[in-house]
Structure 1
Amino acid sequence: MDSHDISLLRDTMDRTTDDLPPLPDLAPLAVREGRRRRTRARLAIVTTAFGAVTAGALGLTLLPGANTGVAMPAAVPPSTGATPGAAPSTHYPSVVVEETPGVTPPDNPDGLPEAERERLAAHQQRVAALLDDLLPATVTEIRPVKDNVRWYRITAGGKTFQTTVSVRPTDDRTLEPCLSAPARKFTCEAVTFAGNREAQLRSMPVNTSDTMGSDVTFLYGGSRVTLSVAPENVSAPVTPRQLMTVAEDPRFLDLVRDTDEHPVEKKAPPAIPGG
């Protein structure tokens, strides 16, 4: 490549990145995901421009199926599952949780075939990507729990919290009554979303009267859907309303529909009214 080609490359790179807005001056946690995606977008544009200029300088015609010997840059996929069932572009490493401290759980405790374990792990990756995109920016890490498809670990404020995202087959056709008990700091709010679908948002003390957990429950098809975050010495960093933001997102409802048709959990026992 001569000096003219280098100059052309530089001009092309400058033009393609000039129109991108500067990163906002926000707190680091608030721009964590946005900064990462902005960087990917800039990299995709610049590398595509580089490939086009290089091909032109070398006199190559890049046609489908042409064996040019030049590896073109791959397009960067969207950061979350814009297409239902699509694999997330970011990998969320799984974590092994010792339910009994000091006792490492066995690998593949349910004795599942490898193909089924891979299917469940792919489901967890899809859920983790949605949680990463939809939970508040104060949540800085999402980790699926290995071999427990409904469990996740989220990190906020330097602490880790157990999180449940469950789409479980059930025979229930109605939710139990939504009752509050202010004296016990237990609140339940019924809301309607996605047309006429009912969800129940609960906040309740867990472990102690001062550590609050959050929960959202609704029925979809033949499944009971639950999103919850348990406290860990301090109250859950996500409120029921913030969990509802996840639940009502069209991408999450796409996941729920797919999981209702192809379950990843065993059928739940019937709900106990008032239980």
Structure 2
Amino acid sequence: MDTDDTTLLRDALDRTTDGLPPLPDLAPLAVREGRRRRARARIAVATTAFGVVTAGALGLTLLAGTTGPGVSTPAAGGARTSYPPVVVEETPGVTPPDNPEGLSEAERERRAQHQQKMAALLDELLPPKITDIRPVKDRTAEYRITAGGETFRMVASVRPEGGAALSRCANRPEGMPPCEEDTKLRAGGMVEWPTRVTVQYWYRKSVVELSVYAEKVVPVSGRVLFDVAKDPRFLELVKDADARPMEAEAGMFGSPRFW
């Protein structure tokens, strides 16, 4: 039975909260984030357990790279902290040579760290249906992404331009800063086919490319790749790669090896 004091307290609380909006429903957000993390945790466990993945969408074999110091896989439900690289066998059964460019260990580590940063950014910005991101060992611009159980080839490239850059920089519209002083990503072109999506930018004297390839249907759109390039952290990675190039010169639209 209510006492007089209880009734007075209830009336006071009602007056205090009157007019306040209802509390938001946090359940849908929590469920969506939980599903994404669980999916990525399952992929991480699978690649660690089996080590060899046949990329049906690519016709290639991906071998899980050995994990070095500081490389770890997350506990179930936890955030990703690293992205173990894979080795791609262009011809199944024929493993490519280690360190094909004969780089110093310091330079190989710098490029590997660039890939880790790029993979972490892609992991955050690509849609939830992309459930895994893996850098390709000794291929600075290449990654393997997983969607719907299939593996797709992705390129995130920053390459110094060849002779074409001289003409582009010499004929910039009036009012634009010289290439050397430009601090913005300048939009180039976009290709959006069922089996390939590419967006291109220029930054100073580098050509910047984001591409995804498939045998049947690409799992992302050009708009998704545009959104990746809009993130300020992507520009920071581009700046570093432009200042200290990690790839060979590009042609007018990326590199022929990406076509």
TM-score w.r.t. length of structure 2: 0.61
Aligned counterpart, 2:191: 202
Tell me which of 125, 134, 159 is aligned to 1:168.
Answer: 159
In 1, the alpha carbon distance for the partners of 2:158 and 2:26 equals 40
Aligned counterpart, 1:63: none
Q: Residues 89 and 227 (structure 1 numbering): CA distance in 2 closer, same or farther, change over 3 Å?
A: same
Offset at 1:29?
7.0
Offset at 1:270?
5.1
Is the CA contact (8 Å cut-off) linking 1:153 and 1:162 kept in structure 2? yes
Identical aligned residues as a percent? 50
Q: What 5-or-longer segments of structure 1 have no aligned partner? A: 1-20, 37-87, 176-193, 205-210
Is the CA contact (8 Å cut-off) linking 1:23 and 1:35 kept in structure 2? no
Aligned counterpart, 1:231: 214
In 2, the alpha carbon distance for the partners of 1:270 and 1:195 equals 19
Q: Residues 100 and 155 (structure 1 numbering): CA distance in 2 closer, same or farther, change over 3 Å?
A: same
Aligned counterpart, 2:145: 154
Q: Residues 245 and 33 (structure 1 numbering): CA distance in 2 closer, same or farther, change over 3 Å?
A: farther
After superposition, residues 177-196 of structure 1 pair within 5 angstroms as none
Aligned counterpart, 2:81: 90
Letter aligned with residue 203 of structure 1: E
Aligned counterpart, 1:117: 108
CA RMSD, Structure 1 to Structure 2 (Å): 3.2
Offset at 1:145?
0.2
Is the CA contact (8 Å cut-off) linking 1:169 and 1:266 kept in structure 2? yes
In 1, the alpha carbon distance for the partners of 2:145 and 2:86 equals 11
Aligned counterpart, 1:24: 28
In 2, the alpha carbon distance for the partners of 1:111 and 1:230 equals 28
Is the CA contact (8 Å cut-off) linking 2:121 and 2:234 kept in structure 1? yes
Aligned counterpart, 1:83: none
The structure with more helix, counted as a fraction of residues: 2
Is the CA contact (8 Å cut-off) linking 2:196 and 2:218 kept in structure 1? yes
After superposition, residues 3-82 of structure 1 pair within 5 angstroms as 22=26, 24=28, 28=32, 31-33=35-37
- Confirm or deny that 1:222 pairs with 2:213: no
Is the CA contact (8 Å cut-off) linking 1:215 and 1:229 kept in structure 2? yes
Aligned counterpart, 1:133: 124
Is the CA contact (8 Å cut-off) linking 1:202 and 1:214 kept in structure 2? yes
Encode CA deviations 1:207-257: one digit per residue, 9 max, x unaligned. xxxx4210001110110001000013x311011111111111111011111
Is the CA contact (8 Å cut-off) linking 2:85 and 2:136 kept in structure 1? yes
Offset at 1:22?
5.0
Offset at 1:26?
6.4
Encode CA deviations 1:191-212: one digit per residue, 9 max, x unaligned. xxx97822322112xxxxxx42
Tell me which of 255, 261, 267 is aligned to 2:243.
Answer: 261
Is the CA contact (8 Å cut-off) linking 2:198 and 2:222 kept in structure 1? yes
- Confirm or deny that 1:249 pairs with 2:231: yes
Please state whether the residue corresponding to 2:89 is helix, strand or coil: coil
Is the CA contact (8 Å cut-off) linking 2:161 and 2:206 kept in structure 1? yes
Encode CA deviations 1:123-173: one digit per residue, 9 max, x unaligned. 100110110011111100000000111110000010000000100001333
Is the CA contact (8 Å cut-off) linking 1:94 and 1:143 kept in structure 2? yes
Letter aligned with residue 231 of structure 2: D
Q: What 5-or-longer segments of structure 2 have no aligned partner? A: 1-24, 41-78, 170-182
Offset at 1:271?
5.4
Encode CA deviations 1:11-33: one digit per residue, 9 max, x unaligned. xxxxxxxxxx9553566578525
